[in-house]
Amino acid sequence: MSSQASPGEFLSNLERWVQLQKLVLENFKNIDEKVRNSDRLDIIIHTRIAFNHMIRTLKAFDDWLQDPFITTNIPRDVLLDVWSTTMSLFEALLKLDIRHTSQVKDLIEKAFKEGKINPIIAQLKDLASREERRGPPGPSISI
């Protein structure tokens, strides 16, 4: 227990975390169909909410695996289960990234060749790329 919490408080915190995760999972399952049938902006917003929760969960797992109380008391088979699941998630994430980035590259390349890229957005993106190469100072333009 990395904090000064009593064992009872520690167990209560773990139970609250599990209940929160179950609630988030149930909420996302309940809105899945709605999101699938919604407009692009709604899909983007809900995907970002899911990403933010995944980042929070991954951070909590990382903190968990740095906690001496956890690392000294969790059996090897439980750690191997976390490792196996981590590898599945890692592979799925990288496959998503490769697939999505490749699709977006192809779509943008095609739209650019066909003159279908909004010139204002293209100019802002070009400016942002130049700023990134040049580096700080100054505000960045993110699109």
pLDDT in tens, the chain (143 residues): 555 568 899 899 999 999 999 999 999 999 999 999 999 999 999 999 999 999 999 999 999 999 998 899 999 999 999 999 999 999 999 999 999 999 999 998 999 889 888 888 888 778 788 888 876 655 555 55
Q: Is 138 inside a domain boundary? A: no
32 in any annotated domain: yes
Total tally of structural domains belonging to the chain:
1
Domain-located, residue 104: no
Give the chain's length.
Answer: 143
- Cis bond leading into 137, ω under 30°? yes
Q: In this structure, is residue 84 part of a structural domain? A: no
- What is the extent of the structural domain holding 47? 1-74
- Whether residue 37 is contained in a domain is answered as yes
pLDDT at residue 97, as a whole number:
97
